[in-house]
Amino acid sequence: MDKSNFEKLEIYQLAEKLADEIWFIVKDWDNFAKDTIAKQIVRSADSVGANIAEGNGRFNYKDNRRFIKIARGSLNETRHWSRRAYTRNLLTTEEIERLKPLVEKLTLKLNGYLRYLANASTDN
């Protein structure tokens, strides 16, 4: 199966990597932690990539920018839930250190992609 346009985007690949890292960390938490924080952090992390994909499928710059902004909000929500999980001793320092570079890089790339889309939309 050929990759669609969004799957070729580095920001989408980073979002997938972050979501998968989180999934593999939280899948072994106890039922209470899974039912509370794990569901929230998985949903927010998955939402980053889903919004990148949806925006890319809109085929116009304005809608794409809107979905990238939503993806950025979901990434911030993921940060929030990571902080809660760490504070509640669900995430270890090592796990946070593994996630942190992905979150930071994805933040920079999302902001850069937003700038690119804004510039591209003014060129047309």
Cα–chain center distance at 113: 14
Cα–chain center distance at 56: 15
What pLDDT was estimated at residue 1? 44
Cα–chain center distance at 55: 14
**Rg of the chain (C-alpha set):** 15
**Average pLDDT in the 110-117 region?**
95
Q: What is the pTM of this model?
A: 0.93
Task: Note down the domain range covering 19.
Answer: 5-123
pLDDT range class, residue 114, cuts 50, 70, 90? very high
pLDDT in tens, 56-68: 988 789 999 999 9
By the 8 A CB rule, do 80 and 88 touch?
no
What pLDDT was estimated at residue 4? 75
pLDDT in tens, 15-66: 999 999 999 999 999 999 999 999 999 999 999 999 999 999 887 899 999 9
**CATH number of residue 54's parent domain:** 1.20.1440.60
- Domains identified in the chain, total number: 1
